[in-house]
Amino acid sequence: MKASTVKGEASADRILDAAFASIAAKGCGQVTLRGIAEEAGVALSQLSYYYGTKGKLFAAVLARMQRGYLATLGTWLDEQKTLRGQALALVNYNENVLRESPDMYRSFLEFFNFAMSSESFRPYVAGFISEISTMIEARMTHRDHRDVEREGHSVSTITRFVLSSSFGISLQHLLAPDNTDVLMGFEVMRSALAHMLTEAA
């Protein structure tokens, strides 16, 4: 690999790192391309060369967050052999991310909010949610899938329930981090899923 290519990739990564940190700290509406370029230690023209507009830069940050989220989640899901175990692992993973990496949830929520007022960015976020759900569903065991569907709960429904509840809990937690009752929502989810699903024989 050419030195110039390696240097270019390093600059692109620094830009994504700076954008992620700025979004988590200030919110999508307050960050500027110039500020991100300064934080990354690159010229504004260099940032524009790699990513063009703010929307495209945000999309690149969101895509990298998605890869990181799914790569680690795969390990948690693969350790379980039943749908019940994997559903509970999905809850545990989302709670762990919120506790250990709150900036990831903060950035996710910032992107969701930004998408509500940006028609050009909205498809990126809608695609992100759809792809996350589809990839999780594909990783989850379907051994007891038919039993679940007889109860009216598809793997897709379970996945969407956990994801939407996790984002709701994270929003409340980030707004009121001292309210420990909010995080008990994850325990409520675990109880609901344990009641809903039974271990495969």
Query: Could you give the angle at which helices 3-26 and 102-117 cross, rounded to 10 degrees?
Result: 80
Query: Could you give the angle at which helices 3-26 and 33-40 cross, rounded to 10 degrees?
Result: 120
Q: Which residues contact 28 (CB under 8 A, 6 or more apart)?
A: 58, 110, 111, 113, 114
Going by pLDDT thresholds of 50, 70 and 90, the confidence category of residue 145 is low
Cβ count within 10 A of residue 82: 17
Q: Taking residues 173-196, report their average pLDDT.
A: 94
User: How is residue 116 written in tokens?
Assistant: 């509500």
199 vs 49, residue with greater confidence: 49
Contact 187, 142 (CB under 8 A): no
Domain residues for the domain of 8 are 1-52
Q: What is the pLDDT of residue 93?
A: 97
Contact 199, 85 (CB under 8 A): yes
Within this chain, do residues 95 and 40 fall inside the same structural domain, yes or no?
Answer: no
Note the pTM of the prediction, 2 decimals: 0.86
Within this chain, do residues 98 and 29 fall inside the same structural domain, yes or no?
Answer: no
Within this chain, do residues 29 and 68 fall inside the same structural domain, yes or no?
Answer: no
Q: What is the pLDDT of residue 151?
A: 53
Within this chain, do residues 45 and 71 fall inside the same structural domain, yes or no?
Answer: no
